[in-house]
Amino acid sequence: MQSILWITERLVMFKLGEYDEIEAEEIAEYLRDAGIRVEVRQSLFAERDDLTFMEGAFSEVRDKLPDCETYDKYLETMKNVLAEDPSSEREFRDRFLSVLDPDWDDKRDQLIEIFEDESPISDNEAEDLKKQPEEDKLRWLSVIFDVVKALGFAESILELNEIDFENCKKSLPEDPLVYIPLDPEGFDLEEGDFENSQINTAISIEFDKICDVYLDEMSSPLIDEVDDGFAEDYFDELLKIKALGSMIEELYEPPGSSRKISFDEFKDMCNIEIGDGKFTMRIDGTFVAEDLAKVLEKRGILRTKGNMVKWKKI
């Protein structure tokens, strides 16, 4: 197996995944310490986000909203809470949510406990969590969705109508300006609706940097030498490299006494299973058998000619 460690000038080919810069370097350090040849390639990418929304006086957009009664309730609640003269935006938000939902204080405390409790749980507690009815999970998701929707509406109105708690500007006009995001898939928009002055579309393009982690296929069997911390932090990556390493080891030598087989037989060799019965991993490389053969051929392990594969004597 000494030849598996050959280093060539060919760029590494197996793409492990895409990561941010910190994760990519951490993964690369783990693998390099184990003797695996790694390359991190940085690139820029762009994400597009489309947003359709209504903006204008509430009276002008109300009739186009599928759940206008909900927004009526939000707006009436805002006016009543602002009339109580809250001293800060935070006080306004807390009071706004409490008036909308009299049980909000209890729900808020439960949500804080769910999302901020970082203490470890026992196996029994974990099992109990898994057994929670699906209805309970959906109920909490519904609570979070309602809060985000209500607060988003309220905060946009405060901004559009220049409500200033520090300078005591705390009353809304009779027909305030509103901003309401729309879901084009869940909102019945006619083609002519986009000509309406209250319906707008904004396209956002955001650029960022991403790192692709590639590794040398022939050094992948060295994954068995990687530090134990890698399995804890990057278990999925460990399995992928283990699968590649097992495949390379399987193909490193011919399957029997003959050093020459058909390419169909070689493809069969690219479908393997490893494990002890209790834990097995099935690895299917048949779709990339030709590429695997090229990797081994460039390293001088075998040679392909026509429909035949022949291993060289090493």
Distance between CA atoms of 159 and 178, rounded to whole angstroms?
9
Of 37, 38, 32, 39, the closest CA to residue 226 belongs to 32
| pTM greater than 0.85 (yes/no) | no
DSSP letters along 59-102, please?
HHHGGG-TTHHHHHHHHHHHHHHHHT--SSHHHHHHHHHHHH-T
Q: What is the pLDDT along the chain (314 residues), one digit of tens a residue?
A: 433 333 344 444 799 999 999 999 999 999 999 999 999 999 999 999 888 888 888 888 888 777 888 889 999 998 888 888 888 888 888 888 888 888 887 877 777 766 665 444 445 544 554 455 556 667 767 778 888 888 888 998 889 898 887 766 677 888 888 888 887 665 555 555 555 556 788 899 999 999 999 999 999 999 999 999 999 999 999 999 999 999 999 999 998 888 899 999 999 999 999 888 788 899 999 999 999 999 999 989 999 998 999 998 76
Distance between CA atoms of 262 and 268, rounded to whole angstroms?
10
Distance between CA atoms of 87 and 292, rounded to whole angstroms?
68
Distance between CA atoms of 302 and 94, rounded to whole angstroms?
71
206 SS3 class? strand
- Under 8 Å between Cβ of 58 and 75: yes
